[in-house]
Each structure stands twice: as C-alpha cells, then as structure tokens.
Amino acid sequence: MHLTSSDLVHWENLGEAVYPDTPLDSHGAYSGSAKAISAKAIGDKDKLFLMYMGNVRDENWVRHSYQVGAWMDEEGKVTKLETPLINSPEHVTEHFRE
C-alpha cells in the first residue's frame, strides 16, 4: 500500500506501489522502508529509494528471501533493481527479513 501525508495525521491512499512481478519477488513483496534521495546526490530528479523483502518459492516450494531495492520517481513510477541488495544468508531460516 502506498500512502502520502502532508501532516502525518491525514493520509491519502495511492494504491499499490510495489507488485510481486520479478524473479526476486514473484511470491511476495513484503515489508520495507524508503529513503528520500535528493536530485543533487544522484544527478537526476528527487527520488525515493525503496528497500523491501522479496520472496520466491522454488520447484520444491522452499522459500528464498531477498532484500530488494527499487527507485520511485516523482510520478510514482517504480523501477526495481535486477540484483538483490542482500541475498538470504545460508545460516538463517527461510523467514529472513530486513
């Protein structure tokens, strides 16, 4: 769900922003957070950098989790990174989260 607010009391629902539609999140785009990045820092327009958990099930229905990154522009268009920010560590359960 994508919400905006100018006063942190009244909120407007803008609908879904991140869909599970890539090889890194095909079975779920879970909780995450965002950071505003200024145009000066990236040599472009102001954007949000989104970080969330993507979940994938393999042919044996085993879950693999990834920390996924994406950019959201001022119009709300989301462009996902093609490689994970963090792969699921091998020494933890399949329920790895941020």
Q: What is the pLDDT of residues 13-39, one digit of tens each?
A: 988 889 899 999 999 998 889 999 988
pLDDT at residue 95 tops 90: no
Residue type, 59: E
Both tokens assigned to 29: 């785009």
pLDDT at residue 81 tops 80: yes
DSSP 8-state symbol, 96: -
9: CB partners within 8 A, 6+ apart: none
Task: Output the pTM of the full model.
Answer: 0.79
- The half-sphere exposure of 71 on its side-chain side, counting CA atoms within 13 A, is 13
Q: Where are the domains of the chain?
A: 19-87
pLDDT at residue 89 tops 80: no
Say if residue 48 is exposed, middle or buried (CB neighbours under 10 Å; 0-12, 13-18, 19+).
middle
Report the pLDDT value the prediction gives residue 98, as an integer from 0 to 100. Answer: 60
- Look over the chain and give the mean of its residue pLDDT values, rounded to a whole number: 88
Confidence of residue 44 (pLDDT cuts 50, 70, 90): confident
Cα gap 85→2, rounded to integer Å: 22
